[in-house]
Amino acid sequence: MTERRSRGVRTFLRPPSRPDDTTMAPERSMDPRAQEETPARPSVIDNALYVDGRRVATPESLAEAFEGLKRIRGSMAWIGLYRPMDRELSELAEEFALHELAIEDAIVAHQRPKSDRYGNTLFVVLRAASYDDELEEVGFGELHVFVGPNFVITVRHSEAPDLSSVRRRMESDPDLLRQGPQAVLYAILDTVVDGYAPVVSGLQNDIDEIEVQVFGGDPTVSRRIYELSREVIEFQRATRPLLGMLEGFIAGSAKYGVDEELERYLRDVADHAITAVERAAGFRQMLQDILVVNSTLVSQAQNEEITKLSEASYAQSEEVKKISAWAAILFAPTLVGTIYGMNFDYMPELHWMFGYPFALLLMAVVCLTLYVVFKRRDWL
């Protein structure tokens, strides 16, 4: 069984194809390092052996770490890797019997937070978060942790989280480190979850600023709300799976021999994770509500503008009606005067004695009639 598994690992971690071979396996095409050159910095960031909570050796290579782990009774290896090469992961897989699926996830990266148990080995994927307040972006760093009976292997694919502080903290507390790989996993979880607090604070600050913009009538706030909502959603994706993961660790404490005090620490980490998840859910709902409020305020502003335009149009229409009415009233005598002002010898009534008074009377009657009609219709 072991030999078959090892062959599977070696097959997955086979050397790169020849230059003329253009075929690439799907999982390799997803590897963010596939098109990049080998990093100049070493993959092994820190490599140490611990006995009874104290560092007893700092091997210079993985092979020395494997040899020291076998030679020193009761020792624990803590190996920290940064974007390791396939060859190094292959060595670790064969030495510690790591499952090929876990190795595949560690190579490909871009995994959601999760925990899988393969025999005596626990594989954990975590996503640390940081917040850039100037850009209003949540940055994420992926971390893979292999936890076995006498070893801890951490694989990072980004600069964050910085595990050197975790190692210093554990080495300064031998009583905690003495509890073995599970204590190291707790410290890593605690650091990752504590890193969510500044993100929550930064998001809260930006939401407060958005509220001021919304009620201040800033027309560009809708885009900011949308972009911040996306950051909150990504933050939720990184934090929400932690709750089930931590509940599983706590529930399995007795089964896997977790110390009672360490279990209390895990519960504290779970409480902090719940707080972060609940705050993120609250932020998402708050941003949705703010977006609705902003849409309502924009609609109200548009309605007020439309109302003002309508009132102006109505007032203008009233003025036009008045002008039109007076124009019609003045047009009537002009029409009569124009007809009677024609110089024809055979026009009717031209030599009539009462022609002039009749013309004036006709003008007055027509004008008065038009005035009464327009007045009844509220044109005047």
Instruction: Give the residue, 355 or 51, on which the prediction is more confident.
Output: 51
For residue range 97-131, what is the model confidence (pLDDT) as tens digits?
999 999 988 888 778 889 999 988 999 999 999 98
Q: What's the pTM value of the predicted model, to 2 decimals?
A: 0.71
The pLDDT tens digits for 156-187 are 988 878 888 999 999 999 999 999 999 999 99
DSSP 326-357: HHHHHHHHHHHHHHHT---TT-TTTT-TTHHH
Token pair recorded at residue 189: 């979880």
**pLDDT band at residue 31 using 50, 70 and 90 as cut-offs:** very low
CATH 3.30.460.20 in the chain, residue ranges: 1-177
- pLDDT at 345 > cutoff 80: no
Mean of per-residue pLDDT scores for the chain:
82
pLDDT for res 36: 43
User: For position 282, what pLDDT does the model report?
Assistant: 93
Assess contact for 340 and 355: CB atoms under 8 A: yes
Q: So what CATH class is 1-177?
A: alpha beta
Q: Which residues of the chain are in CATH 1.20.58.340 domains?
A: 314-376
pLDDT of 24 reads: 40
pLDDT of residue 185: 93
Per-residue pLDDT at 339 exceeds 80: no
CA distance 371 to 11: 102
Confidence of residue 350 (pLDDT cuts 50, 70, 90): low
Higher pLDDT, 55 or 329: 55
User: Mean pLDDT across the stretch 357-363?
Assistant: 79
314-376 topology per CATH: Methane Monooxygenase Hydroxylase; Chain G, domain 1 (1.20.58)
Helix axes 86-96, 62-71, angle to 10 degrees: 10
